[in-house]
């Protein structure tokens, strides 16, 4: 395993000492409080979990602008997207000033309990021009149809920066007890398995046969001891497969089609940004912080719609300074079943193939078939995985008709 990003050791911000956590919870009762956005709460979970090592809290305006423009903090550390606490000015507690402590309430848990306490070092206005610059640089578009752009614009106009102490991991341990893992826990699990070289696969979707084989190809090519299939468990755009369904489908695939003790299935508590290339770099940092040595970046990684080129999320790694990351990138090509070779291949490995030589279905076609109860081709998806997805889509379609 490799060192965390920008640090010799992980820096999780979860307050693990029970007595200290109880004291902070008691303190929070007397502090001014604010309900934060889902994105800010997810960032608190990532800070708590060690995935955002070496950050100690939310960025100020200068840091956010530096990250957006140059993909680095003012001190030079590579960081691809702002980790900011942005709120509407009207929601600030009356009379609240910089230098005070603020209780941050979780919008995603009933009763909106305190998720963290922040030492607010600065309160800054996010001017319209600065907001526009950050959005354009991070998302490469200002189109509000882009879910990441829409979420950033909706957050507010006031930036609260400073370190945080995190009291819980939000809804993730309760909703996903077998899957949610911190970076600390994953390092421990992989160490216990004796894995020294690990390849990580990021997903917000179920895995079809092509994804499964891409993981095998990467493991074989880099000589990895194991594979971390690491899924996002936070908020997604409308139409994406819910995390519980995706979790069940992936676990069934691993159970039936991978040798025992070669794959670790886990998830992390973050909301999807859909930031394409910038998010691919962030994903690499997450996996370096878990100790993985290699990270698969495939076609249209973390993309949405047609905002990014098919391989922009790979070429961005050519633009960052050498040595900025310790993790190595495995660049995956589009992958599908070859009718000629009777197996899954990456397109770059079969230059003699034509489009009609592959079995490849669009997401729309897959959904149509599953809603209709039609089995997916075995060359596209494992039948046990397709069965789980079929049940989900049929239940969804039935609910839409009511």
- Spatial distance between the Cα atoms of 68 and 60, rounded to a whole number of angstroms: 12
Give me the sign of the Cα torsion angle 284, 109, 147, 80.
Answer: negative
210 contacts 335 by C-beta, under 8 angstroms: yes
Helices H / strands E in the chain, number of each: 13, 15
Which is catalytic among the residues 101, 205, 251, 367? Answer: 205
How far is the CA of 240 from the CAs of 43, 141, 234, 311, in angstroms? 21, 21, 11, 22
Q: Residue 356: left if φ>0, alpha if ψ -120 to 50, beta else—which one?
A: alpha
Which is catalytic among the residues 140, 181, 204, 299? Answer: 204
Written as six digits, the tokens of 145 are 């149809």
Helix (H) or strand (E) holding 265: strand 263-268
Concerning whether 299 is annotated as a catalytic residue, the answer is no
Written as six digits, the tokens of 51 are 């995935």
Which of 157, 81, 323 lies closest to 73 in space, CA to CA?
Answer: 81
Concerning whether 21 is annotated as a catalytic residue, the answer is no
Which of 33, 134, 35, 119 lies closest to 83 in space, CA to CA?
Answer: 134
List the catalytic residues.
204-205
């Amino acid at each position: 395993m490799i060192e965390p990003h920008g640090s010799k050791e992980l820096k999780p911000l979860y307050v693990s000492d029970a007595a200290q956590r109880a004291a902070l919870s008691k303190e929070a009762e007397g502090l001014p409080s604010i309900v934060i956005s889902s994105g800010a709460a997810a960032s608190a979970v990532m800070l708590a979990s060690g995935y955002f090592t070496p950050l100690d809290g939310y960025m100020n305006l200068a840091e956010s602008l530096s990250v957006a423009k140059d993909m680095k903090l003012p001190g030079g550390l590579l960081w691809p997207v702002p980790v900011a606490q942005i709120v509407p000015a009207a929601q600030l507690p009356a009379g609240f000033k910089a230098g005070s402590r603020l209780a941050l309430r979780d919008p995603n848990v009933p009763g909106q309990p305190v998720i963290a306490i922040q030492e607010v070092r600065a309160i800054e206005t996010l001017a319209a021009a600065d907001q526009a610059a950050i959005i354009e640089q991070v998302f490469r578009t200002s189109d509000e149809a882009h879910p990441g752009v829409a979420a950033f614009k909706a957050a507010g106009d006031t930036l609260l920066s400073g370190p945080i102490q995190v009291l819980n991991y939000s809804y993730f341990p309760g909703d996903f007890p077998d899957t949610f893992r911190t970076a600390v826990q994953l390092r421990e699990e992989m160490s216990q398995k004796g894995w020294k070289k690990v390849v990580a696969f990021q997903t917000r979707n179920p895995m079809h046969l092509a994804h499964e084989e891409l993981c095998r190809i990467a493991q074989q090519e880099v000589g990895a001891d194991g594979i971390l299939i690491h899924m996002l468990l936070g908020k997604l755009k409308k139409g994406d497969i819910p995390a519980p369904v995706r979790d069940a489908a992936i676990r069934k695939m691993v159970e039936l089609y991978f040798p025992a003790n070669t794959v670790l299935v886990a998830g992390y508590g973050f909301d999807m940004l859909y930031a394409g290339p910038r998010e691919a770099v962030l994903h690499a940092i997450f996996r370096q912080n878990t100790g993985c040595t290699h990270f698969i970046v495939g076609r249209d990684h973390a993309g949405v719609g047609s905002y990014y080129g098919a391989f922009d999320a790979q070429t961005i790694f050519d633009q960052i300074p050498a040595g900025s990351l310790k993790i190595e990138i495995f660049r995956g090509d589009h992958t599908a079943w070859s009718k000629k070779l009777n197996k899954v291949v990456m397109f770059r490995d079969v230059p003699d193939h034509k489009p009609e030589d592959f079995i490849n279905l669009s997401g729309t076609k897959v959904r149509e078939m599953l809603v209709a109860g039609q089995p997916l081709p075995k060359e596209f998806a494992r039948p046990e995985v397709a069965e789980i997805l079929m049940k989900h889509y049929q239940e969804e379609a039935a609910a839409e008709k009511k």
